[in-house]
Amino acid sequence: MPSTSESPHSTTSGIVPVVGFYYWSVDAPWLGVVVASLVTLLLAYIGWRLMKKIDD
């Protein structure tokens, strides 16, 4: 692989993992559920920390 910094090439290399993850999540729907629940927990935790900080 030539190490040239062309914008189309870097765009493609950035899209490839996203497309791969998308097809992987289609292959394994449980992965989407796990990620969604993790994100929800994280947001709830951040919100709880913010509320605690406001109360103090």
pTM value is: 0.44
Q: Which domain holds residue 43?
A: 29-56
Domain for residue 39, yes or no?
yes
Residues 23-50: b if buried by 16+ CB within 10 A, e if exposed: eeeeeeeeeeeeeeeeeeeeeeeeeeee
The count of structural domains within the chain is 1
Domain for residue 16, yes or no?
no
Domain for residue 17, yes or no?
no
pLDDT, tens digit (0-9, with 9 covering 90-100), for 3-56: 554 555 555 566 667 777 677 666 677 777 888 899 999 999 999 999 998 876
